[in-house]
Amino acid sequence: MSSLPTFAALLVCLVAAWPLPTLLAATPEPSADEAYSFDDFPREEVLVYPDWFKQSFLDIRADLAEAVAAGKQGLMVYFGQKRCPYCHQLMKVNFGLSDIVEYTRRHFDVVPIDIWGTEEVVMLDGETLTERAWSQRADSDFTPAILFYTADGTIALHLRGYYPPYQFRAALEYVADGHYQHESFRDYLARGEDRMVFDPEDLNEEPFFTPPPHNLDRRYPAERPLAVFFEQGDCHPCDVLHGQALSAPAIHRHFSEFDSVQLDMRSAAPVITPTGQRTTARDWAAELGLFYAPAILFFDEQGKELLRVDSVVGFYRLRNVLNYLASKAYLTESYGAWRVSRAF
C-alpha cells in the first residue's frame, strides 16, 4: 500500500481550506490561481525534462521490464511538446511538489515522448512507430497526455491534458494502489467527493446557453452543431473558465454559432441525448466517463461527438478547438493532423 494520502482523505482536507496540504512541506502547495489560471499561449522557452525522467532508448518493452525489475508498479509514458504551456504547467506546478515527485519516482518510471518526434519507438507488441505516429494513435491531441502502463502491460489510465495537483495525485494513487482493477477513475474520484458536503451553489450563466428542458435529440439533423457544458456549482475551474476564456469576445462569438447547453453533472435533471436516449445529466456524465468539470463536448448536426475538452483549458487552446470546428476541418482530418502548423 502506498504512503501517499488517499485521495478521499485529501478531498476531505479540501473542505476545510484550499490549498491541499502536501506530504512533504519542502515545497508550498500552489494556489488555486496558479493551478487553473495561467497564460496558455505557446512558450518561448523550450521545456526541459526533469533529470529523473528515464533516458529511454524508446523500446517500451525494455522500459517496462526495467521498471518492474526495480520494484515499481509500471510505466508512465508522457506525451508532450517543448513549447506547450500545459506541459510547462505540469513540470512547474505538479512536478514542483516534493510529495508528487517522490511518489511518482517510487512507483513509476517516466518515459517522455515528443509528439512531433521522428525517432522510432518499439511498442509492447513489437510494432515500430515514430513518436509522432504513436502520439496520434494514443489520442494525445491535448498535451500533456499520459498513459499509465501496469506491470503486465495493461493501460490502467489515460489522461488527456493538464490536471491540477490534487487530481494528479489521485491518478497516481489510482494506478499504483490497483484501484483500476475494480473501479473506474470517475468512480474512484466520486468516492472522495461523496465524503464532502457543499452548500448548493448556482452554475455560472452565459447568454448563449439554451434554457431547459434539454431535448438534444439529433436523430433528425439539427441546423447547427451542439456544445454541451458539464459543470458543477462548487467548481473553481468552472469559475475560471467563465471569468476568463468565455468572457473573450472571440470565444463568445464562436459559441453563439452553436446550440449550447449547460448541464450540472451531479444533477438528476432530465435530458434527452443526441442519440435520443432519455436519461439524467448525472447518468449521462457517468456514461460518458466524465470526471473533470468543466468539460465541453462538441457534437455535429447529426449528433456525432466530434471532440471533447475535459481538462484545464484556457483561451488559446479553446480558440484553436473552436476554429477547427467552425472551419469543419473535422470532415477531412483529425484535430491532431489539423494542428500540425500550430503550437499545440
pLDDT tens for residues 309-342? 999 999 999 999 999 999 999 999 888 878 765 5
Determine the CATH number of domain 214-341. 3.40.30.10
Residue 151 has what pLDDT? 96
Helix locations, the chain, DSSP H: 7-16, 32-36, 60-69, 85-92, 98-107, 131-137, 165-176, 185-193, 236-243, 249-255, 281-287, 315-326, 335-338
Q: What is the pLDDT of residue 106?
A: 97
Helix-strand-coil split of the chain, %, nearest 5: 35, 20, 45
Asked whether the beta carbons of 204 and 242 are under 8 A apart, the reply is yes
How is the beta sheet containing 108-114 ordered, strand by strand? Answer: 108-114, 74-80, 145-150, 155-160
In percent, how much of the chain has pLDDT > 90?
A: 78
CA dist., res. 46 & res. 98, Å (int): 23
Tens of pLDDT, residues 84-105: 999 999 999 999 999 999 999 9
Q: Report the pLDDT value the prediction gives residue 141, as an integer from 0 to 100.
A: 82
Q: What is the mean pLDDT of the chain?
A: 88
Q: Per-residue DSSP letters for 9-26?
A: HHHHHHHH-SSPPPSSTT
pLDDT at 11: 44
- For the chain, the distance separating the N- and C-terminal CA atoms, rounded to the nearest angstrom, is 37
For the ranges 15-24, 35-44, 46-55, the one whose mean pLDDT is highest = 46-55
Residue 10 pLDDT: 47
AA identity, residue 277:
Q
Query: Is the per-residue pLDDT at 16 higher than 70?
Result: no
Please tell me if the domain spanning 7-193 has the same topology as the one spanning 214-341.
yes
> Residue 150: what pLDDT?
97
Model's pTM, two decimal places? 0.87
Phi and psi (nearest 5°) for 146? -135, 130
Phi, psi at 134, each rounded to 5° = -65, -40
Cα–Cα distance between 173 and 257 in angstroms, integer? 41
- pLDDT bin (cut points 50, 70, 90) of residue 28 is low
Domain positions in the chain: 7-193, 214-341
What's the confidence (pLDDT) of residue 306?
96
Domain 7-193 sits in CATH at 3.40.30.10
Q: Dihedral sign, CA of 290, 296, 299, 305?
A: negative
Find the mean pLDDT for residues 248-266: 94
Q: Is the predicted pLDDT of residue 157 greater than 50, yes or no? A: yes
